Structure 1
Amino acid sequence: MRILVHPGFHKTGTTSVQYGLDRNAAVLADRVRVLQANDFPKAITAARRHTAQPAPRRLRNYASGFAEAVAPLDPADARPLLISSEKLLGWIPGRRENWGYADTPDFMERLADVLIGHFGEAAEITFCFTTRAAEDWQRSVYWQNLRSMRITEDFETYRARLAEGAQLDAVVAAVRARLGGRARVMARPIEELSGEPQGPLGAILRELGVAADDLVPFKSYNMQPAGAAEELLRLNRSDLDDAALTETKRKLLQDYQEAGLTRQAAERSGGG
């Protein structure tokens, strides 16, 4: 049986992949089994708690939460399995004083343990990380966190704190070393996937041997409008109280979305 885990990274096309899976659920149902974030909430909670404050019991909870999601799956089903969620890596860097992916090898080792335990040693497991050039990734993380947090630092100041987290290829290498021969570990830069049919989702499905040429077109809704980061920074630095700031930012982002400034065709993009 073939299994592919796409655990991110954050801000590397994951939203596009997940939108595409949801949009094409009926088309793909006979071809591939899919697990996404809603299928393993306990694992996500444990991952976030562990990245904020590491503890062995949280890793155990992570594994058991993921095992609950996998348990109903029939190992005899011939369809491959695709697991996609950046939330399996815990908080996005910049949240809860987590600035990188030091815990990722531990997380992926637990996932491999659960998958092999359920599907057997013969399962062909691939961990496929989508990656992104360091500065582009830092800008995207900055934009994401500006929206949800009261960050008052400009980008150049903030990006210095993300320097270690931006070394995504080093994290992939650490996961590969940790898993050894138990699973294949690979990286696909989203810059190389923007021209592929159906973008990152198409590339991931093809890694599983799943046909993707007839997928329904879909859009990504996580793009950054020009000048938006500067406007959010201005609001974060204002004297608005927290409740007023949250509402003002919500309305601003809604205006951007309604104007069509936060989306682009995902089949030719590496957004999200």
Structure 2
Amino acid sequence: MTTQIVIHAGFHKTGTTSVQSMLRENATVLETHLRVFLKEAFEDLTTSARAFSIEPREKTLRQVAEAANAFFGTLDRTDPRPILMSSEDLSGHMPGRHGLECYDSAGLVMRCLSEAAAHHFGRNLDLVFYFSTRDREPWLRSTWWQNLRSTRLTQDFQTYSAQFDDARGLEDILTEVAEDVGLARVTSHRLEDAETLPLGPLSPLLALFDLPDLDLSSLQLLPPENVQPNVGIDEVFLALNRSALPEKDVQDAKRTIRKMARSLQV
């Protein structure tokens, strides 16, 4: 029996939160056809992948390999259902944090995952690495917004984006991953191309599986999540980050403003 595994390992700000929310929402329907594992099922693995991204050393890579082997070791080789893993943190920290300009550690992390999966399942393995991507400018703007709301980032978008002028693009990272994972396949889909699909960004991911008995029309489509509100609050957040206000006051203010912004969009 061949076990199919699809690892949705990134990238941040490409619809991954929406995908994972729909996987949770439709868990009861999907569990008959698919074994779905989200971040909470392999926290040690995502933690070690993030650590390696900011400290790429032999020791931290070994910790990734150990966590990968530990996770795959828990999977039942006799279960005929294919496996789906989804967490953008498998690619490391999001660029714009910890001085990172791109996912330079992703290839070696995926190699660890590939080797651990092959060790557990042997030759009876069909492994696919799937990455959702996005056009460069909207992706950078979205990472800027995420960092703006979650940290004390003080750069405006123009200054922020300029630091990525010489950084490798997402397609370059995909090429490197493909070189690192051996016989495993690497595939991707642009967020912009998924917007009109029946299940949005979840559609190209489920299309990788052969699930003839799954009625896709029975799955619940959810609205996009974690999207920047288009009401001008980015300038407010930038001013808060640049202020001398204590961290707790800044975070409290951001939560209140985001709640107000959501109410305007209902």
Q: Normalised by the size of structure 2, how large is the TM-score?
A: 0.93
Whether the 8 Å contact between 1:137 and 1:166 is mirrored in structure 2 is no
Q: 2:82 aligns to what?
A: 80
- 3-state SS in 2 of match to 1:239: coil
For the residues of structure 1 that align with 2:259 and 2:69, how far apart are their CA atoms?
A: 37
Aligned partner letter, 1:159: S
What is the aligned partner in structure 2 of residue 231 from structure 1?
Answer: 236
Unaligned runs of 5+ in 2: none
Question: Partner letter of residue 206 of structure 2?
Answer: L
1:219 is aligned, of 206, 217, 223, to 223
The alpha-carbon distance between structure 1 residues 145 and 185, as it changes in their structure 2 partners (threshold 3 A), is same
Partner residue, 1:153: 155
Q: Which moved more, 1:42-51 or 1:30-39?
A: 42-51
For residues 32 and 165 of structure 1, what CA distance do their matches in structure 2 show?
37
Report runs of 4+ in structure 1 exceeding 4 Å deviation.
none
Q: Which amino acid aligns with 1:225?
A: P
Whether 1:20 and 2:22 are equivalent positions in the alignment is yes
How do 1:48-197 residues align onto structure 2 when only pairs under 5 Å count? Answer: 48-164=50-166, 167-180=169-182, 182-197=183-198
- CA drift of 1:197 comes to 1.2
Partner of 1:206: 207
Shift of 1:258: 3.9
In the TM superposition, residue 204 of structure 1 has moved relative to its aligned partner by: 0.5
Q: Which amino acid aligns with 1:167?
A: G
Q: Note the C-alpha offset of 1:208.
A: 1.1
* Distance across 1 between alignment mates of 2:19 and 2:69: 23
Q: In structure 2, how many angstroms separate the alpha carbons of the residues matched to 1:103 and 1:247?
A: 34
Which deviations, in whole Å up to 9, do the C-alpha atoms of 1:181-211 show, x marking residues without a partner? x101111111111111101112211111233
For 1:7, give the aligned amino acid: A
User: 1:151·1:236 contact (CA, 8 Å) conserved in 2?
Assistant: yes
Deviations 1:145-167 (A, max 9, x none): 00111111110110122345561
Selected match of 2:250 from 230, 236, 245: 245
* TM-aligned CA deviation for residue 79 of structure 1: 0.7
Q: TM (normalized to structure 1)? A: 0.91
CA contact (8 A) 1:101 1:165 kept: no
Q: How many residues align?
A: 260
Alignment partners' CA distance in 2, 1:164 and 1:252: 34
Q: In 1, are the aligned partners of 2:229 and 2:262 still within 8 Å (CA)?
A: no
Question: Does 164-173 or 102-111 show the bigger shift?
Answer: 164-173
CA distance in 2, matches of 1:51, 1:235: 29
Q: Which moved more, 1:57-66 or 1:125-134?
A: 57-66
1: CA distance between counterparts of 2:166 and 2:198?
A: 32
2: CA distance between counterparts of 1:12 and 1:91? 14
Secondary structure of 1:173 counterpart: helix
- Give distance in 2, aligned partners of 1:22 and 1:178: 31
In structure 2, what residue type is equivalent to 1:255? Answer: M
The aligned residue for residue 254 of structure 1 is 259
CA separation in 2, counterparts of 1:69 and 1:77? 16
1:244 Cα offset (Å): 1.5
Let me know the Cα RMSD of the aligned residues: 1.5
